Amino acid sequence: MDDVANKIVSILKKNMKEPPETIALDTKLSDLEIESLDLAVIVFDIEDTFGIQIPYNANEEMQDFATVGSVVERVKSLIGDKGAAGAAA
Amino acid sequence: MAGPNGARRVVITGQGVVSAIGIGVDTFWANMRRGVCGIGPITNIPLQDLYITIAGEVKDFDPRERCPSKPFMLADRYSQFAGSAAIEAMKQAGYDGPVSDGHRAASIIGSGIGGLGTIENGYVDLFIHKKKATHPLTLLRSIGSSAAAHVSIEYGMKGPCFGTVSACSTAAHAIGLTFQMIRAGMVDIGIAGASEACVTFGSMRSWQAMRVLSPEGCWPFSKHRNGTVLAEGAGILVLEELEHALARGATPLAELVGFGMTSDAADMVNPSIEGPSVAMQIALDDARLAPGDIDYINAHGTATTVNDINETRAIRRVFGKDADKVSVSSTKSMHGHCLGAGGGVEAVACIKAISENFVPATIGFDEPGEECDLDYTPNEGRSREITYAMSNSFAFGGLNAALVFGPPPA
């Protein structure tokens, strides 16, 4: 796992009552018993850590939040967008 | 005059409302009958860093016109909404000034959060502008009991006076408690409901962070629903012991016949089926009614994925086979989610529904959402004989309240 993934895993663990020893990229968030309010807190933490904004609505099924890996990919793409926007400005 | 359960009977002799679909019951109800949507782009606050930019704002509210006494002029917007609705309700009940026996009168007007705009402005002054002092009325404006106190002063109500606080069940709790006080003989008349002025920058940011707001619209029970929409407003009733009302020559608009309240005691955001079901059942039992007697349910219907399925299941659990006969709607589709004031605004909708035998619609309805299988009165209201109507309010924390209204005693 790279730096982004490690940071996201540590955010997940921080917000779980009993985090498992290992969280892999293919671990499903539903298997971690993360519910909608937990996810709102986790998304907030991720936004704060990486300085990005993640469009997330608890009322909608979001593929980006299916697995740890999909969250990592989404965050990387948002970091990339931010970098590109910064370069253009 | 005692009711079927031996208790004193409680009637509604006045009602007042402030909402995104109208200030005053006549405008509110005319728009509700027509299915007017009051939700739109936010105009009263700066939108920076907001990606949720719609709400049910109260438009063109002039406190000088609606609640002209000096204390109200200096109050927070939330108290002014309450003042406007209370004055309208009291006028309908026949009061232009103080009640005759103040110690037998209650003023129970709650708010989910009170004078939030005042608090936010105070913090901006303190922490951003580094002012040496906040406005001297900051405290009095912000406390969540100020609306109740202002109204008690306006009408010389010297009995119980306080605000209820139970998030989105606040108004229903205020009305239910006042109902019980009158029944118990503690007071003869009470003004009850709630007010909310929650479309502030900080509030919008807080709700946005919870990820439960829709960026587009409030479409309860509908397949395309994607969250709720915040709204401002106030809904206030004058409740009165039947004999007291008749002796004054007041005209009862409806009777409040049942009240139930429960707490899930389980989770802050995920509702149980048991809590709401038992609240509805207690309200029915209190009213000595069977589920089949209810013609209309003004649902809590927030348009979140979770609430609408859960409420549907709870109604099915309580109403059994009668669930397919009762008309259901969520008027939040029109006026938005008035949070603490919701149960008050929706109580007014129930009373008008009974008076005019008309079920207001759930607008913005495309097709039924998954597991949403009741008659939600999609898009167009309809005429139907309504003898009894139930109003549901369910709040964060699992705080449930149900009110049952019936026709005015013959």
- Over the stretch B9-34, which tens digit does the pLDDT of each residue have? 999 999 999 999 999 999 999 999 99
| Catalytic-labelled residue, pool B168, B338, B350, B372 | B168
Query: Does B264 score more than 50 pLDDT?
Result: yes
Contact between residue B220 and residue B374 where contact means Cβ atoms under 8 Å apart? no
User: Tell me: the pLDDT tens digits for A21-78?
Assistant: 889 999 999 899 888 888 999 999 999 999 999 989 999 888 888 999 999 999 999 9
**Interface contact flag, B304 A39, Cβ < 8 Å:** no
What number is the average pLDDT over the span B356-366? 98
Q: Does B337 qualify as catalytic in the annotation?
A: yes
Query: Does A87 score more than 60 pLDDT?
Result: no
pLDDT at residue number A88: 47
Q: How far is CA B369 from CA B147, B256, B308, in A?
A: 38, 32, 9
pLDDT at residue number B139: 96
Per-residue pLDDT band at B206 (split at 50, 70, 90): very high
Share of chain B above pLDDT 70, in %: 99
pLDDT at residue number B164: 98
Q: Which of A35, A40, A55 sits opposite B210 (nearest CB)?
A: A40
Beta strands in B286-406 (DSSP E): 294-298, 327-329, 358-359, 382-383, 388-395, 399-406
What number is the average pLDDT over the span B337-361? 98
pLDDT at residue number B4: 65
**Interface contact flag, A58 B211, Cβ < 8 Å:** yes
- Nearest chain A alpha carbon to B210: A40
What number is the average pLDDT over the span B123-136? 94
Q: Which of A18-32, B34-48, B285-299, B310-324 has the lowest mean pLDDT?
A: A18-32
pLDDT at residue number A17: 84
User: Tell me: the pLDDT tens digits for B169-205?
Assistant: 999 999 999 999 999 999 999 999 999 999 999 999 9
Mean pLDDT of the residues in chain B? 97
Domain with CATH 3.40.47.10 in chain B: 10-248, 257-405
Chain B residues near residue A35 by CB distance under 8 angstroms:
270
pLDDT at residue number A81: 76
Query: Does A83 score more than 80 pLDDT?
Result: no
Sequence-separated contacts (24+) of B177-180 with Cβ below 8 Å: B177/B108, B178/B106, B178/B108, B178/B239, B179/B10, B179/B239, B179/B256, B179/B259, B179/B403, B180/B259
What number is the average pLDDT over the span B380-385? 98
Per-residue pLDDT band at B401 (split at 50, 70, 90): very high
Q: Which of B212, B268, B269 sits opposite A59 (nearest CB)?
A: B212
For chain B, helix, strand, coil in percent to 5 are 40, 20, 40
pLDDT at residue number A35: 82
The superfamily in CATH containing domain A3-88 is ACP-like (1.10.1200.10)
Per-residue pLDDT band at B339 (split at 50, 70, 90): very high
What 3-state class would DSSP assign to A80?
helix
pLDDT at residue number B257: 98
What CATH number matches the domain at B10-248, 1.10.10.10, 3.40.50.300, 1.10.3720.10, 3.40.47.10?
A: 3.40.47.10
Number of other CB atoms surrounding residue B46 within 10 Å: 9
pLDDT at residue number A89: 44
Compute φ and ψ for B338, nearest 5 degrees: -80, 15
CA distance B332 to chain A (A): 17
Q: Does B129 qualify as catalytic in the annotation?
A: no
Query: Does A84 score more than 60 pLDDT?
Result: no
Query: Does B100 score more than 60 pLDDT?
Result: yes
Per-residue pLDDT band at B353 (split at 50, 70, 90): very high
Number of other CB atoms surrounding residue A59 within 10 Å: 21
What CATH number matches the domain at B257-405, 3.40.250.10, 3.40.50.720, 3.30.70.1290, 3.40.47.10?
A: 3.40.47.10
Q: Does B161 qualify as catalytic in the annotation?
A: no
CA distance B173 to chain A (A): 26
pLDDT at residue number A86: 44
